[in-house]
């Protein structure tokens, strides 16, 4: 049985709902959060973005690509 973290599950769900563009959005939002002093939330967003990117690369599913 494969164990997936909450971060991985959230990343897969967001990737399915929003496509690959969510990775860029999460990175942008993390930068904004860091800029206003919320480094803990920024780190969380970056973790989700990294998990989504890893899942996207693992799948290599062209349907998830928005461009």
**What's the chain's Rg over C-alpha atoms?**
12
Number of domains in the chain: 1
**Which DSSP string corresponds to the chain?**
-----HHHHHHHHHHHHH-THHHHHHHHHHHHHHHTT-HHHHHHHHHHHHHHHHHHHHHT-GGG---
> Which range marks the domain in which residue 33 is found?
28-60
Would you state the structure tokens that stand for residue 47, as one six-digit string?
């973790």
Q: Is there a domain that residue 3 lies in?
A: no
Q: Is there a domain that residue 21 lies in?
A: no
> Over the stretch 7-41, which tens digit does the pLDDT of each residue have?
999 999 999 999 999 999 999 999 999 999 999 99
Q: Is there a domain that residue 52 lies in?
A: yes
pTM score above 0.85: no
Task: Tell me how long the chain is.
Answer: 67
Q: Is there a domain that residue 44 lies in?
A: yes
Q: Is there a domain that residue 16 lies in?
A: no
Q: Is there a domain that residue 43 lies in?
A: yes
Q: Is there a domain that residue 35 lies in?
A: yes
> Over the stretch 45-57, which tens digit does the pLDDT of each residue have?
999 999 999 998 8
């Amino acid at each position: 049985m494969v164990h997936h973290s909450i971060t991985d599950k959230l990343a897969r769900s967001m990737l399915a709902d929003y496509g690959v563009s969510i990775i860029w959005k999460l990175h942008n939002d993390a930068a904004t959060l860091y800029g206003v002093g919320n480094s803990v939330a920024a780190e969380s967003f970056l973790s989700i973005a990294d998990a989504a990117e890893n899942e996207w690369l693992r799948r290599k599913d062209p349907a998830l690509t928005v461009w």
